């Protein structure tokens, strides 16, 4: 008879593995079940491989501008196989690190497919074995899978999801059509454009990145177009046809009628859906919220001792949100108050320049009739941006007029993703624009733009032309 666990976590992505380590550190006898590779989508098919490939593409794009920097470089080219090898090494290194963190904290790693049979028992199936484990609590962290829309011809060869695109070897398509101008579509468009391929984006909404504020959508769209992308909005793909020369013809409808375009490859990036397939046995039923598992504010499902976090529940599909929920859930299981502000979730897009937002956008604040003040600093006035041949961008900070507290920020600039944490800290701790202006930021840095933006709230930014009186 197997020993009973305090907690079994299903899924080892950033939600599950972080929760498992936290639980072990808090003294719970913990196991984690994974049917694929340790690390989940983020490590194996998402954030890490994408950003590793983009590190190469970004350097390649910069290398094309070497002349301007006084550096001579001839015969510049790339080797996609080598780029992919390095990406695999990065993923492998982090995966091994994650595995040894789990092991050294005493978490039992179980390989196999987990099915919840009832509130305290789980069946594990792998190639030739079936075992049953019992536990006091279960945490579901099974993540999400790409949505495949019902479009005629969607199953054609070379119509791929981000999973396949991230392991593409030998050569990139000379042109890629991307269905869906969301975060995945836009990041992979950036990778393709930086590597020198042509990109055409077909987005159903009236703008790319429709979940972001308009100013971000417009700035990113302008930037992508400058790099050569063609973007169609309010456009709907109706049919994909395989042509005789291995090309794909993509027929789509937009305002001006039915059109078609062709490429060797089509990326489908229209969102991700909660992964619950095969998760529940016949004798258990759990309340759903649409396609997601329904949870209360304690991350409990309709069965008290079964919890769920991350992409499998409704909310932001972000690795760091899942990790934070994992930590909070384990704290709740141990009768502690969550130590993390779960409502303040920075959101990042690794374009060039990067996008990072946190808290309320100017648009949202206005839509909610809040009295706000906005400070904004254009990056073309920032010394670090100028000396490193940076592009147009901005840092925008929003404060509540009455209290002066920072309630939101939007960064569209180099290293935005590394800087947004400071604004998240400010929002979480109720800091005012004055508090943020009162610290010395080093020179020359991108983060000097935060000083300027918060000073601009009171019209006092030093490196900004005075507003017309
Ligand atoms: P998404 O929800 O961000 O974007 C999907 C886009 O496809 C939307 O703009 C939508 O309007 C459009 N769309 C939907 N159906 C369509 C159709 N039939 N034709 C044309 N357009 C259509 O989903 P995405 O990009 O697949 O990303 C999935 C999740 O992963 C998101 O929640 C995203 O935030 C997360 N993610 C986060 C990253 C980051 O933090 N840097 C990186 C990659 C993904």
100-141, pLDDT tens digit by residue? 999 999 999 999 999 999 999 999 999 889 999 999 999 999
61-99, pLDDT tens digit by residue? 999 999 999 999 999 999 999 999 999 999 999 999 999
pLDDT-derived band at 195 (thresholds 50, 70, 90) equals: very high
Can you list the domains of the chain with their CATH numbers? 4-146+273-333 (3.50.50.60), 159-270 (3.50.50.60), 353-457 (3.30.390.30)
Judge whether residue 368 has pLDDT over 60: yes
Atom nearest to 235 CA in ligand 1: 20
440 SS3 class: coil
Strand 198-202 and strand 175-179: the pairing is parallel
Determine the pLDDT at residue 467: 75
Determine the pLDDT at residue 468: 64
292 included as an active-site residue: no
Judge whether residue 1 has pLDDT over 60: no
Determine the pLDDT at residue 127: 86
pLDDT-derived band at 170 (thresholds 50, 70, 90) equals: confident
In contact, 107 and 31? CB cutoff 8 Å: yes
Strand 159-160 and strand 144-146: the pairing is unpaired
37-65, pLDDT tens digit by residue? 999 999 999 999 999 999 999 999 999 99
Contacts of 103 (CB under 8 A, 6+ apart): 109
Section 187-198 average pLDDT: 98
Show the tokens assigned to 299.
Answer: 């991350």
Atom nearest to 202 CA in ligand 1: 20
> Is any atom of ligand 1 closer than 6 Å to the C-beta of 52?
no
241-251, pLDDT tens digit by residue? 999 888 999 99
Atom nearest to 350 CA in ligand 1: 41
Task: Please give the C-alpha separations between residue 55 and each of 9, 61, 237, 308, 417, in angstroms, as whole numbers.
Answer: 32, 10, 31, 33, 14
Determine the pLDDT at residue 245: 87
In contact, 41 and 144? CB cutoff 8 Å: yes
From 51, 183, 346, mutation site for ligand 1 pocket: most ligand atoms within 8 A of C-beta = 183
Distance from the alpha carbon of residue 349 to the mean position of ligand 1, in angstroms: 11
Determine the pLDDT at residue 137: 98
Judge whether residue 157 has pLDDT over 70: yes
14-37, pLDDT tens digit by residue? 999 999 999 999 999 999 999 999
pLDDT-derived band at 433 (thresholds 50, 70, 90) equals: very high
Of 58, 320, 443, 463, the catalytic one is 443
pTM: 0.96
**How far is the first Cα of the chain from the last one, in angstroms, to the nearest whole number?**
80
376-391, pLDDT tens digit by residue? 999 999 999 999 999 9
């Amino acid at each position: 008879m197997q020993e009973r666990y305090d907690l079994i976590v299903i899924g080892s992505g950033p939600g599950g593995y972080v929760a498992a380590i936290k639980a072990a550190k808090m003294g719970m006898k913990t196991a984690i079940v994974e049917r694929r590779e340790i690390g989940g989508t983020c490590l194996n098919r998402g954030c890490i491989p994408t950003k590793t490939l983009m590190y190469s593409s970004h350097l390649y794009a910069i290398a094309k501008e070497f002349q301007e920097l006084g550096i001579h470089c001839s015969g510049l080219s790339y080797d996609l196989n080598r780029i992919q090898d390095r990406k695999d090494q990065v993923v492998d290194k982090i995966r091994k690190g994650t595995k040894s963190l789990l092991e050294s904290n005493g978490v039992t790693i179980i390989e196999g497919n987990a099915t919840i049979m009832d509130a305290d028992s789980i069946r594990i199936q792998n190639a030739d074995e079936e075992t049953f484990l019992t536990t006091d609590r279960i945490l579901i962290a099974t993540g999400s899978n790409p949505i495949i829309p019902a479009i005629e011809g969607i199953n054609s060869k070379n119509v791929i999801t981000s999973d396949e695109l991230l392991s593409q070897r030998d050569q990139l398509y000379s042109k890629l059509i991307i269905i869906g101008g969301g975060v995945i579509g836009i990041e992979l468009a950036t990778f393709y454009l930086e590597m020198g391929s042509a990109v055409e984006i077909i987005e159903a909404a009236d703008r790319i990145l429709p979940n972001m504020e308009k100013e971000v959508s417009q700035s990113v769209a302008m930037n992508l177009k400058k790099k050569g992308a063609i973007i169609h909005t309010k456009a709907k793909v109706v049919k994909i046809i395989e042509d005789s020369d291995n090309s794909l013809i993509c027929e789509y409808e937009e305002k001006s009628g039915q059109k078609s375009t062709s490429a060797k490859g089509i990326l489908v990036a229209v969102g991700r859906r909660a992964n619950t397939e095969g998760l529940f046995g016949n004798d258990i039923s759990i309340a759903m919220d649409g396609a997601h598992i329904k949870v209360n504010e304690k991350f409990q499902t309709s069965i008290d001792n079964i919890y769920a976090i991350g992409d499998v529940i409704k909310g932001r599909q972000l690795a760091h949100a899942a990790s934070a929920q994992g930590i909070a859930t384990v704290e709740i299981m141990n009768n502690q108050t969550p130590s993390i502000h779960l409502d303040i979730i920075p959101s990042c897009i690794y374009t060039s320049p990067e996008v990072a937002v946190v808290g309320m956008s100017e648009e949202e604040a206005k839509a909610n009739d809040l009295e706000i003040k906005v400070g904004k600093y254009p990056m073309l006035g920032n010394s670090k941006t100028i000396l490193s041949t940076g592009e147009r961008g901005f840092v925008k900070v929003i404060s509540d007029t009455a209290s002066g507290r920072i309630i939101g920020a939007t960064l569209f600039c180099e290293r935005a993703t590394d800087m947004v944490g400071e604004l998240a800290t400010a929002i979480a701790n109720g800091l005012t624009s004055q508090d943020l202006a009162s610290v010395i930021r080093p020179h020359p840095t991108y983060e000097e733009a935060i000083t300027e933006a918060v000073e601009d709230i009171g019209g006092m930014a030093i490196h900004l032309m005075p507003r017309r009186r």
